[in-house]
Amino acid sequence: MGGRTEPKTETTESDLTYPSSGWTGFFRNHFGPSMLWALIGIGGSHIVIAPTMGATFGLVAIWMFGLIYAAKYGAWELGIRYNYGMGANPIEAYRDLPGPKNWALWLTIAVFTGMYTFITASVGMNSAAFVAALTPEWFTAPWAYVVFVGGAGALVLVSRYSLLEKALIGFTVAVGALVLLGVLVGPPSPERIAETAFAVPDLTGPAFVALFAAAAGFAPTGLSTSILIGSWSMAKEEGAGELRSKGLDPNDPAYHDYIRAWIRTGRRDFNIGYAFSFVLIVSMVILATNVLYPNPPTDDNLAFAIGSILSDSFGEWSYYAVLIGAFAALYSTVITLLDGAARATGDILPMALEDDSIDSERVRKLVVVGVVGVSSAMVLALGTVPVTLLLYVAAVLAVTEIFFYPANWYVVEKHLPEPFRPSRAWHAYYVVSLALVLAFGAMGATLRLGVIG
């Protein structure tokens, strides 16, 4: 049931493999990259930022996350459109962006090596905080970081993509089921719903700007992950890359049905991961509103606060279940970040240097070792400040990753065959959503520059 085969045409020497159209075949053969992508978000944004937003603002935080998800969707949709429409990662086309030669490739490498070191440090520090809450006092969070993030680096160095994918999807399903069940068993009271569902906060106040900028940077993930999901999709060896491998022209109308089918399949996969990510982040807001509001978690009580979100629903045993689940989600994010950043850098560096003789696998391993080493030193120097570091890095991310949205739009318009370029309706959406993303970045910039609070 892997797919169906179309008859040969005069312009091809062999049949093309079409994606499975039914749901059974889809889940068996094509589902996966979106869940790896979702794992990056089901960590810092879901386990730390969403409960903090819910505990600070209540259910109105759902509308905030809804706006963020609606605005940022376009950057990934463009990446998916290019990925499956061209059978390639969008990063391959960044060489054609206007400006100095290969500048966009070098900027992307800087994001995946530099910025991802900070992201790994922030998410890893939060995972270490949960480890520290489950272990003896002498095993402090910074040393837990060194041990567990070092272990994640070792896992990424030796694991194959398929094994990594299965392990991480298992983490996601487990923590997601626990949170969703908690919402069903213990929703907020009618009084709490009425009090917070439409209570608009001070939109110019430092508390709102700080938290919203952080949410806009981390939720559901940074926009650079459009490159990572492209790498993971290519690793599955499916999509319109079959045309390229056989020397066939995607602009030939004979292959347009084939391309259209793969774009639909890629978008379907991504939409599932996107919807799952949103439902889970809404669930965390609801739980935090029910249990923590109006007392958000802090650096000192993060593990205790998050661990208690299901206590009203399931009793004391759930405290340890949530700690373990939160650690699993955060730790799986660390693994995914290390794998994705290293894999992407290994793919991009030969293109940036225009040297195919570079050993991408060696680059990948060096990036993993470098990110683990530098981030560990950073965490040991900073001490235990999980919430503070995550909010700071997330706000910076809202600024630094804006580039990927217009870059993806440019390469789609420049390279995709005419029938698969965005319609006028999509253009209108991109304009509005990109304006919102720029506004999110402005909030992060003003916060970090000290203009606000």
CATH number at residue 375: 1.20.1740.10
The residues pairing with 5 across neighbouring beta strands, listed in sequence order, are 17
Written as one letter, the residue type at 76 is: W
SS3 277: helix
302-339 pLDDT tens trace: 989 998 888 777 777 788 888 888 888 888 889 888 98
Residues 433/73, Cβ–Cβ less than 8 Å? yes
438 vs 314, more confident: 438
| Side chain identity at residue 393, one-letter code | V
Alpha carbon distances (Å) from 429 to 185, 191, 407 = 37, 37, 16
Could you tell me the two tokens for 152? 């994640």
Cα dist from 394 to 41, 112, 213, 336, 354, whole Å = 12, 15, 7, 17, 33
- Provide the pLDDT for residue 101: 93
Query: Which residues fall within 8 angstroms of residue 377, CB to CB, at 6 or more apart?
Result: none
| DSSP notation for 105-125 | HHHHHHIIIIIHHHHHHHHHH
Mean pLDDT in residue range 344-370? 94
**Quick check: is 8 in a domain?**
no
Residue type, 326: A
Query: What's the CA gap between 163 and 7, in Å, rounded?
Result: 35
Residue with the two structure tokens 């530098």 = 374
- How many distinct structural domains can be found in the chain? 1
Question: Per the domain annotation, does 16 fall within a domain?
Answer: no
DSSP 96: G
Does some domain include residue 15? no
In a domain, 2, yes or no: no
Q: Which helix (H) or strand (E) holds 402?
A: none
pTM of the model: 0.90
Q: Note down the domain range covering 403.
A: 23-448
Beta partners for residue 17, in sequence order: 5
Check: CB of residue 21 under 8 Å from CB of residue 261. Answer: yes
Q: What percent of the chain has pLDDT over 90?
A: 53
Secondary structure of residue 66 in the 3-state scheme: helix
Among 170-179, 257-266, 279-288, 400-409, name the one with the lowest average pLDDT: 170-179
356: amino acid identity, one letter:
D
160 band by pLDDT with thresholds 50, 70 and 90? low
∠ CA 345-68-270, rounded to 5°: 55
Which pLDDT tens digit goes with each residue over 192-217? Answer: 999 999 999 998 888 899 999 999 99
CA–CA gap between residue 323 and residue 204 (Å, rounded)? 34
DSSP structure class, residue 20: P
Residue 7 lies in a domain: no
Is 5 part of a structural domain of the chain? Answer: no
Determine, yes or no, domain membership for 6: no
In a domain, 10, yes or no: no
> Quick check: bond before 294 cis, omega within 30?
yes
C-alpha–C-alpha distance, residues 54 and 286, integer Å: 7
